[in-house]
Amino acid sequence: MSDLRYSKEHEWVRLEGDVATVGISDFAQAQLGDVVFVELPEIGKQVEQNGDACVVESVKAASEVFAPVSGEIVEVNSALEEDPEMVNQSPTENGWFMKIRISDPSQIDALMDEADYIDFTASQG
């Protein structure tokens, strides 16, 4: 079983202490198609749970990436600026977007585990 938690907007979270690494799920990247550009947030930006955090553009569309937890952006994956296709190639490893120092750890509990997320996406087909 994965240590990832998922939002209904298809972001994933990996918690390490009080810092959440955030990206989009394999399901989401497959729906988007080839990612061609990622607009990352500024370090120090405060984000609210389910609020806009950054933008990902693909050959199909531009989409908001939402913050699955509230807190402060403490790091961004600047490698995506040069190599945005990492989102497609490795969405849950090298294709992460940002790290958020979470302000409310209980928000993690509201996210889906991998089994629940698989069930959720099965209905989205």
- Residue 71 CB burial class (10 angstroms; 0-12, 13-18, ≥19): buried
Q: How many domains does the chain have?
A: 1
Range of the domain at 50: 5-122
Q: Is the pLDDT score of 1 beyond 60?
A: no
Confidence of residue 124 (pLDDT cuts 50, 70, 90): confident
**pLDDT value of residue 20:** 97
Confidence of residue 125 (pLDDT cuts 50, 70, 90): low
Q: Give the CATH number for residue 30.
A: 2.40.50.100
Please list, in sequence order, all residues whose beta carbon lies within 8 angstroms of the beta carbon of residue 110, skipping any fewer than 6 positions away.
Answer: none
pLDDT digits (tens, 9 = 90+) for 74-88: 999 999 999 999 999
- Provide the percentage of residues in the chain whose pLDDT is more than 90: 94
